[in-house]
């Protein structure tokens, strides 16, 4: 295997008594769009800050292109960061902000100017060079921050929840933009986010963080379709868990299984078709959200199944709260978790 | 906030009254500086620039003004260096006793001048230093530092730590970050703090009385010596008016610099 662009080797970071990152090892190949996904407080931002050089690991090693950089200060590392609040220099105009990295490295003025222009072109802000950051919208600031980092042609670009402050529409636009830029410049992107949709859309691979550890690393498809732990299954998309007892009653095998809501439907036939399982129950919750309706059914076997029903026809009957219904799913859609969540952290709770 | 129209008028009238009480005496002194009579009598009579001409040629007030400016500038310069360093130390580093140190830096401004004055005088005498210009500067610096420190610390606390990190991330070493990012962003706070510190030193009289020594007269000391001497009354009025006019400039500058939208970070 070729040398990874970034590698963490059993990296641990403690702040006082709190362990923010707990023995994380991961390898990121050159040119990847790699996401660190997890709830707030799961250690993903701390991990990013250690790669950037803002935090020193308590133990373990950080490598860039095989070189140990654990103790290198940020200004000696060939990585650049896009900060969550952008951290643009408020007293400099856009062009000066973008030129900053080249300026402190002593690049000649004319070359500086040229490369800044090119970087601003990449993020489509050529016309904004003379503006001050406070004269820009959130999305524009975001692009300036991106240009300011890209102009240095780093080996790795670190992005700390860069779209967190944008409204939904702009967010989706910037996602496309980020994907395009990453393809164009071919730099390794490491992207921190708590938004699973964003991570799945953008990434070539995702590492799911929970309580300072990585629960699973894989392609978006692997993460979504074959979650390794209950945490991953519930954090990435909605999942229904069929516990051991319910599984015994319903499926005739006492292994816990999980199921995605889009795989659950309302039963139409009186008996289950070949390869399908039917489960009677009571509707406990109905949520309408435009393109679909999400129905939670407490099945008699003792589990809570969420069904995502598409909103197809007007007047099509949607179950109401308290209705007795029978839900159905294919046996082959059941997913088995490789292992239970690796430590005693209750799901969804901050460490 | 909603106010009834009568309440609004009452507030306006009260504001006007307060401003009149504050400024009428100053206007009165200014009027007296061009009065033909050489006393404080009302109503003033006539109009003349005679006193302005005379005052201009007198060495006493001129020397005192020069001393005050010298003292103020030197004390402010010391305060800018020490106050800025202290602000950096206390906003960026965490160490045992940080709050206590902060309190000790700020305390001199709250101490009664008479206490500071006596304490410094006895302290200087104790170690055998004769009070003179340098002791006066040290005395003034004790409260000038507070002003600079408060301004600088407030600004540093408002600066996002991410700016420093962004600068380092882009390849700047500590000194480059200070020169290109931190200092430009705190410059207005330092100018404002420096101007206020200078103004404070300029009209200080109590501490000055104890720490200036006999031969060294600052402007406030000169006023105190002269304002009750009948012959000096016209000159006192002229010098007072001059100082009022001159002090508008730094105060105006300080306000402009601290209120400017670009300075808010």
pLDDT tens string, chain A, 351 residues long: the values are 578 999 999 999 999 999 999 999 999 999 999 999 999 989 999 999 999 999 999 999 999 999 999 999 999 999 999 998 899 999 999 999 999 999 999 999 999 999 999 999 988 898 999 999 999 988 899 999 999 999 999 999 999 998 887 888 888 888 888 898 899 888 999 999 999 989 999 999 999 999 999 999 999 999 998 888 888 988 888 888 888 888 888 888 888 888 888 899 888 888 888 888 899 999 999 988 888 889 999 999 888 899 988 877 665 677 888 889 999 999 888 888 876 554 444 444 333
Nearest alpha carbon to residue B44 among B56, B55, B33: B33
Q: How far is CA B95 from the centre of its chain?
A: 31
Same-domain status, A180 and A305? no
Q: Give the model's pLDDT for residue A340.
A: 57
| Chain B residue nearest residue A99, CA to CA | B170
- Claim to verify: residue A150 and residue A259 sit in the same structural domain: no
- Asked if B160 lies within 8 A of A87 by C-beta distance, the reply is yes
- State the pLDDT at residue A343: 46
pLDDT of residue B258: 65
Give the pLDDT mean for B28-48.
79
A276 in any annotated domain: yes
Give the residue with greater pLDDT, B60 vs B18. B18
Taking CB atoms and an 8 Å cutoff, what residues of chain B touch A74?
165, 168-169
State yes or no: pLDDT of B138 exceeds 60: yes
Residue A59 domain-assigned (yes or no): yes
A101 is a domain residue? yes
**H-helix or E-strand spanning residue B197:** helix B183-202
Contact A62, A126 (CB under 8 A): no
Asked whether residue A158 falls in the same domain as residue A173, the answer is: yes
Instruction: Establish if B27 touches chain A: CB-CB under 8 angstroms.
Output: no
Instruction: Indicate if A244 and A151 belong to the same structural domain.
Output: no
User: Highest mean pLDDT range out of A271-275, B13-17, B36-40, B100-104?
Assistant: B13-17
Considering only the beta carbons, identify the residue of B165, B173, B185 that sits closest to A87: B165
Interface residue A235 vs chain B (CB under 8 A) = no
- Just give the CATH number of B58-258: 1.10.3720.10
> Looking at the structure, do residues A131 and A253 belong to the same domain, yes or no?
no
Helix (H) or strand (E) run with residue B30 in it? helix B5-32
How does pLDDT run across B196-239, given as a tens digit for each residue? 899 889 989 999 989 888 888 899 998 888 888 877 888 888 88
User: What's the rounded mean pLDDT across residues B70-76?
Assistant: 95
B265: pLDDT strictly greater than 60: no
Structural domain harbouring A16: 6-234
- Are A87 and B180 within 8 A, CB to CB? no
CATH of the domain at A278: 2.40.50.100
**Count of domains for chain A:** 2
Is the Cβ–Cβ distance between A291 and A270 less than 8 Å? no
By residue count, chain B amounts to: 265
Q: A-chain residues within 8 Å CB-CB of B169?
A: 52-54, 74-75, 79-81, 149
Check CB contact under 8 Å for B166 and A75: no
Please give the interface size between A and B, counted as residue pairs whose CB atoms are below 8 Å apart.
Answer: 68
Mutate to test the interface with A, among B170, B173, B260, B261 (most CBs of A within 10 A): B170
Domain co-membership, A157 together with A16: yes
Q: Are A75 and A149 members of one domain?
A: yes
Kindly report the backbone phi and psi dihedral angles of residue B240, in degrees, each rounded to the nearest multiple of 5, phi listed first: -60, -45
Query: Does residue A341 belong to any structural domain of this protein?
Result: no
Cis peptide upstream of residue B43 (ω within 30 degrees of 0): yes
What pLDDT is attached to residue B121? 92
Q: What is the mean pLDDT of residues B124-128?
A: 89
Question: A127 and A254: one domain?
Answer: no
Q: Quick one: B100 exposed, middle or buried, by C-beta within 10 A (0-12, 13-18, 19+)?
A: exposed
The pairing of strands A156-160 and A79-82 is: parallel
Rounded alpha-carbon distances, angstroms, from residue B76 to A110, B82, B221, B246: 41, 10, 19, 18
Closest partner CB to A83 (pick from B166, B176, B180): B166
Residues A272 and A324 in one domain: yes
Banded model confidence at residue B29, pLDDT cuts 50, 70, 90: confident
From chain B, pick out residues whose CB is under 8 angstroms from the CB of A101: 170-171
Of A205, A234, A263, which residue sits at a domain end?
A234
Written as six digits, the tokens of B139 are 């005395």
* Out of A281-290, A341-350, B49-58, B114-123, least confident range: A341-350
User: What ipTM, to 2 d.p.?
Assistant: 0.80
* Measured CA distances, A70 to A24, A75, A77, B22 (Å): 14, 13, 10, 63
Contacts of A152 in chain B (CB under 8 A): 170-171
Residue B252 binned pLDDT confidence (cut-offs 50, 70, 90): confident
Are A210 and A289 within one domain?
Answer: no
Q: Are residues A58 and A108 in the same domain?
A: yes
| Together in a domain, A244 and A276 | yes
Cβ A192 vs Cβ A184: under 8 Å: no
Supply the pLDDT for residue A316. Answer: 61
The answer to whether residue A350 is domain-embedded is no
- Phi, psi dihedral angles at B250 (to 5 degrees): -65, -35
Sign of CA dihedral B239, B241, B247, B253: negative
User: The CATH number of the domain where A127 resides is what?
Assistant: 3.40.50.300
pLDDT at B52: 85
Q: Could you say which of A234, A259, A291 is where a domain stops? A: A234
Q: How confident is the model at residue B262 (pLDDT cuts 50, 70, 90)?
A: very low
CA distance B147 to A307: 65
CA-nearest residue of chain A to B179?
A: A104
Predicted local confidence at residue A339, as pLDDT? 63
């Amino acid at each position: 295997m070729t040398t990874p662009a970034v590698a963490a080797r059993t990296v641990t970071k403690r702040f006082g008594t709190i362990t923010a990152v707990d023995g994380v090892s991961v390898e990121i190949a050159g040119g990847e769009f790699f996401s660190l996904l997890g709830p707030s407080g799961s250690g993903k931002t701390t991990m990013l800050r250690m790669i950037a050089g803002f935090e020193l690991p308590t133990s373990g090693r950080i490598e860039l292109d095989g070189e140990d950089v654990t103790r290198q200060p940020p200004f000696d590392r060939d990585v650049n960061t896009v900060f969550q609040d952008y951290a643009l220099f408020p007293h400099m105009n856009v062009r000066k902000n973008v030129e900053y990295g080249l300026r402190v490295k002593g690049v000649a003025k004319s070359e500086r100017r040229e490369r800044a222009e090119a970087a601003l072109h990449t993020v489509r802000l050529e016309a904004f060079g003379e503006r001050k950051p406070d004269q820009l919208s959130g999305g524009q600031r975001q692009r300036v921050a991106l240009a300011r980092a890209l102009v240095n042609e780093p080996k790795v670009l670190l992005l700390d929840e860069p779209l967190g402050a944008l409204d939904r529409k702009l967010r989706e636009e910037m996602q496309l933009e980020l994907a395009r830029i990453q393809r164009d410049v071919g730099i390794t992107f490491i992207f921190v986010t708590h938004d699973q949709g964003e991570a799945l859309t953008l990434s070539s691979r995702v590492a799911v963080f929970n309580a300072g550890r990585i629960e699973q690393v894989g392609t978006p498809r692997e993460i979504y379709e074959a979650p390794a732990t209950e945490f991953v299954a519930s954090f990435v998309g909605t999942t229904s868990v069929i516990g051991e007892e319910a599984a015994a009653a319903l499926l005739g095998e006492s292994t816990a299984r999980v199921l995605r809501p889009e795989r659950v439907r309302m039963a139409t036939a009186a008996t289950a078709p070949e390869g399908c399982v039917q489960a009677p129950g009571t509707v406990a919750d109905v949520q309408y959200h435009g393109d679909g309706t999400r129905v939670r059914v407490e099945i008699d076997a003792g589990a809570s199944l969420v069904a995502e029903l598409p909103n197809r026809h007007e007047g099509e009957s949607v179950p109401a709260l308290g209705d007795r219904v029978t839900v159905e799913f294919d046996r082959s859609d059941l997913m088995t978790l490789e292992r239970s969540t690796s430590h005693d952290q209750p799901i969804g709770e901050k460490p | 906030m909603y106010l009834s129209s009568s309440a609004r008028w009452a507030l306006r009238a009260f504001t006007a009254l307060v401003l009149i009480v504050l400024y009428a005496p100053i206007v009165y002194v200014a009027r007296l500086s061009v009065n033909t009579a050489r006393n404080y009598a009302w109503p003033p009579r006539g109009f003349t620039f005679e006193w302005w001409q005379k005052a201009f040629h007198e060495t006493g007030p001129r020397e005192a003004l020069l001393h005050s400016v010298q003292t103020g500038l030197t004390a402010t310069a010391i305060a800018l260096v020490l106050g800025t360093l202290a602000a950096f130390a206390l906003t960026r580093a965490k160490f045992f006793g940080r709050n206590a140190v902060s309190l000790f830096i700020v305390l001199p401004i709250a101490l009664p001048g008479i206490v500071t004055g006596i304490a410094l005088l006895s302290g200087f005498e104790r170690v055998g230093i004769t009070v003179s210009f340098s002791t006066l500067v040290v005395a003034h610096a004790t409260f000038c530092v507070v002003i600079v420190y408060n301004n600088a610390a407030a600004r540093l606390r408002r600066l996002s730590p991410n700016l420093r990190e962004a600068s380092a991330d882009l390849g700047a070493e500590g000194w480059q970050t200070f020169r290109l990012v931190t200092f430009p962003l705190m410059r207005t706070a330092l100018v404002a703090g420096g101007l206020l510190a200078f103004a404070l030193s300029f009209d200080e009289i109590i501490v000055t009385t104890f720490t200036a020594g006999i031969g060294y007269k600052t402007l406030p000391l000169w006023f105190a010596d002269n304002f009750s001497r009948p012959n000096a009354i016209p000159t006192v009025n002229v010098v007072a008016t001059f100082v009022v006019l001159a002090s508008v400039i730094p105060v105006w500058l300080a306000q402009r610099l601290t209120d400017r939208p670009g300075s808010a970070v």
